[in-house]
Amino acid sequence: MKHTLAKALYPVACAFILLSQPGPVLAQHQPAASIPAADLIQPADLATSLKSATTPKPLILQVGFRKLYAQAHIPGSEYIGAAGEDAGLQLLRERAATLSKDTGIVIYCGCCPWSHCPNIAAAYGALHAMGFTRVKVLYIADNFGDDWVKRGYPVVAGG
Amino acid sequence: MAGVRVLPAIVCLTALALATPMLAAASLAHDSALRMAPDFTRTDLDGKSLDLRKYRGKVVLLNFWATWCGPCLIEIPTFSAWQNTYRTAGLQVVGISMDDDTAPVKRLYQKDRLNYPVAMGDAELGELFGGVLGLPLTYLIDTDGRIVGRYQGEPDLKQLEARIKSLLPRP
């Protein structure tokens, strides 16, 4: 009972602590759970499609923190900025403004466990609001290290 | 006769009991890609030199975090409390922020009056520790500078505290 209550109050506690911290200008927090399941792509499926010679490659955008991207990122992916912050969200909109609305896009972060990610839903929401129709979100349950790198999917460093 | 049948089972169980800690150690070494904590030097937020090697003789709780990371902010007050409680027993908490900018880290450091050194991390430091590819990430380092625990995500704080207490040089 105690455990259930603590679990239920956890998101509230997280939100309270985050909002009470003097940090960068944060975009309004949207939970990753708000992203429709139909728009998620599993790491194994993306890795398979990247290997395929016939499947058209999506544009892959990393919307998390730069120090993560610099250590390891999906080959060919572009670093945008942390979409949980207004500055990162603006960079995403600027990049997206150069694209056709039917561009196949995959966004990913992996900074922290899915339910705590401050970036991914904000990025999805921004692209959706701009009218992009083929946006997929890489579902990273725990973090990029465990769910992508340790599974042996392709990575490069730098940037 | 029965003793003969039991003997192999005892041997097997003993071997398993002996091997289990070794397997755990191997797994830890594999996970963290190292056994000894890599030395590094950074300048902390107070402008002082932060040299991990200088903490040999203490138990070090090395916490990678960021201001935008909800679970990180939940555990930081606990780490701060442990620093107070176990300082004289030989605990040293060290924070490494993976924020891209220093300003929000400094603001939080001052506002929350963190009582342990915090420095800015970078990709190079992350790679030294086998990759900081998700937060929070916390390492427990013993008095000899060996990594004895790696906690990706939110650790069980009670278990972590018990582990720290078992390692302290002056409990």
**Per-residue confidence (pLDDT) for residue A9, from 0 to 100:** 53
Residue A138 host element (H or E): strand A135-138
User: pLDDT grade, residue A30 (50/70/90)?
Assistant: confident
**Per-residue confidence (pLDDT) for residue A8, from 0 to 100:** 56
pLDDT in tens, A58-75: 999 999 999 999 999 999
Check whether B27 has a pLDDT greater than 90: no
Measured distance CA(B127)–CA(A18) in Å, rounded = 27
Give residue B101's region: left, alpha or beta (phi > 0; psi -120 to 50).
Answer: beta
Check whether A18 has a pLDDT greater than 60: no
- Residue A70 in contact with partner chain B when CB distance is under 8 A: yes
CA nearest A128: which of A105, A152, A154?
A105
- Residue A94 in contact with partner chain B when CB distance is under 8 A: no
CA nearest B148: which of B80, B59, B84?
B59
- Read off the pLDDT of each residue in A127-148 and give the average, rounded to a whole number: 98
What is the Cα gyration radius of chain B? 19
pLDDT in tens, B152-162: 999 999 999 99
**Per-residue confidence (pLDDT) for residue B78, from 0 to 100:** 98
**Per-residue confidence (pLDDT) for residue A61, from 0 to 100:** 98
Check whether A6 has a pLDDT greater than 70: no
Measured distance CA(B150)–CA(A31) in Å, rounded = 27
User: How is residue A27 annotated by DSSP?
Assistant: P
- Residue A113 in contact with partner chain B when CB distance is under 8 A: yes
Mutate to test the interface with B, among A14, A25, A116, A117 (most CBs of B within 10 A): A116
Whole-prediction pTM: 0.81
User: pLDDT grade, residue A7 (50/70/90)?
Assistant: low
- Read off the pLDDT of each residue in B113-127 and give the average, rounded to a whole number: 97
Q: Answer whether B17's CB lies under 8 Å from B42's CB.
A: no
**Per-residue confidence (pLDDT) for residue A135, from 0 to 100:** 98
Measured distance CA(B168)–CA(B171) in Å, rounded = 5
Check whether B56 has a pLDDT greater than 80: yes
Measured distance CA(B146)–CA(B59) in Å, rounded = 10
pLDDT in tens, A92-126: 999 999 999 999 999 999 999 999 999 999 999 99
**Per-residue confidence (pLDDT) for residue A4, from 0 to 100:** 55
| Nearest-by-Cβ selection for A112 from B67, B71, B108 | B71
B74 with A84: Cβ contact below 8 A? no
CA nearest A115: which of A14, A5, A6, A3?
A14
Q: How many residues does chain A have?
A: 159
**Per-residue confidence (pLDDT) for residue A29, from 0 to 100:** 72
How far does CA B134 lie from the centroid of its chain?
Answer: 15
User: pLDDT grade, residue A55 (50/70/90)?
Assistant: confident
- Residue A50 in contact with partner chain B when CB distance is under 8 A: no
A23 with B131: Cβ contact below 8 A? no
Measured distance CA(B22)–CA(B10) in Å, rounded = 19
Residue-averaged pLDDT of chain A: 88
User: pLDDT grade, residue B29 (50/70/90)?
Assistant: very low
pLDDT in tens, B69-105: 999 999 999 999 999 999 999 999 999 999 999 999 9
Mutate to test the interface with A, among B133, B138, B150, B152 (most CBs of A within 10 A): B133
In order of A27, B33, B54, B74, B95, the CA distances from B150 in angstroms are 32, 11, 21, 18, 15
* Percent of all residues in chain B with a pLDDT value above 70, rounded to a whole number: 80
**Per-residue confidence (pLDDT) for residue A5, from 0 to 100:** 54
Residue-averaged pLDDT of chain B: 86
Measured distance CA(B123)–CA(B132) in Å, rounded = 8
